[in-house]
Amino acid sequence: MTTTPTRRLRRLATGAALALAVAGGLTACGSGDTPGPDVNIKNAATTPAKETAPPMAPSKPKRLQIPSAGVNAGPFVPLEVGGDGELGVPPVDKAEQPGWWTKSPTPGEKGAAIVVAHYDTKNGPALMRNVKSIKVGDEIKVLREDGSTATFKIRERQQVRKDAFPTQKVYGDTDRPELRLLTCGGEIVDGHRSANIIFYADLVK
């Protein structure tokens, strides 16, 4: 099968993702000087769906909705990989907004779209304050600039220490439309959360 230029670019983007810092996760997020309560979830997963909804055309994300956590927020903050090789997070003054890594597919496209949101910051609880309420089987909706909505169903939630971040599992190539939602969890260590919480979701409509 012939590889199109777009497909080649997506593979290059995946390679860039795997070149992140060894931790691979959100090392910059945390509570700063005013730590809140620790947050921990139980890992859970279900069997991945044999098929997903057909991939959608590219369209930038506009708004994030997670009904089970009371999330309905936008616009998305564009995120880049910094000079230190780490994936950025939304700035503290935009802690109630989600972020999207611009080198990942747009949500609904083939591949793993990467969305990032804060659990808390030095200013207190943030967009993912109700992260413990999000369960396997819940929906994540992304409203897109073209007027469409990409609806994903969560098939796995995972909490890992940042020094054991599953880089390949999160950023690796996939031949179907999927979503990764990343936030922080665990206890505060040196001013930052010590763990990442990751949701893996498949496009269902």
Quote the DSSP letter at residue 99: E
Query: How remote is the C-alpha of 52 from its chain's centroid?
Result: 19
97 alpha carbon, distance to own chain's centre? 13
114-164 pLDDT, tens digit per residue, is 999 999 988 889 999 999 999 999 999 999 999 999 999 999 999 999 889
Strand intervals (E) in 32-164: 44-45, 61-66, 71-73, 77-79, 99-101, 111-116, 120-121, 124-125, 139-144, 149-161
What is the three-class DSSP state of 44?
Answer: strand
Between residues 171 and 37, the one the model is more confident about: 171
List of domains in the chain? 5-203 (2.40.260.10)
Using DSSP bridges, classify how beta strands 139-144 and 149-161 pair: parallel, antiparallel or unpaired: antiparallel
Global pTM? 0.86
Q: Following DSSP, what letter does each residue of 137-199 receive, concatenated?
A: T-EEEEEETTS-EEEEEEEEEEEEEGGG--HHHHHS--SSEEEEEEEEEEEEETTEEEEEEEE
CA distance 160 to 158: 6
For residue range 73-86, what is the model confidence (pLDDT) as tens digits?
A: 999 999 998 777 77
